Amino acid sequence: MNKPELISAIAKKTGLKKKEAAMTLDSFAEVVTNTLKKGDKVALIGFGTFGARKRSARNGVNPRTRKKIKIAAKTVPFFKPGKKLKDAVAKKK
């Protein structure tokens, strides 16, 4: 499912107009992004947790040239699914 399909599904499920559903989805993404930038996490009980982890610097290899390169430390986002979501996905129809 891509973003337009998600917006349509949200609009259909909630009775919102597509424009309102798009604004809601964009607002959600913006709030989560800003929260992660601050170093906090967003926990949605039953669904999952959005967070950020620090990845330390490491050595790597350029696959084209086979030269060793330094990969800088950085912070990356992650999502840890909640129990309800895990259970729902694990069940077969």
> Domain check: are 35 and 59 in the same one?
no
pLDDT in tens, 5-42: 999 999 999 999 999 999 999 999 999 999 999 999 99
> Domain check: are 50 and 91 in the same one?
yes
Average pLDDT, the chain: 95
Give the residue from 69, 45, 47, 48 showing the smallest Cα distance to 59.
69
**pLDDT for 91:** 83
> Domain check: are 35 and 48 in the same one?
no
pLDDT in tens, 37-81: 999 999 999 999 999 999 999 999 999 999 999 999 999 999 999
> Domain check: are 20 and 59 in the same one?
no
- Domain housing 63: 41-93
Q: How many domains does the chain have?
A: 2
The letter for the amino acid at 82 is G
Which CATH number goes with the domain that contains 70? 4.10.520.10
pLDDT over 70 (residue 93): no
> Domain check: are 47 and 31 in the same one?
no
The letter for the amino acid at 40 is D
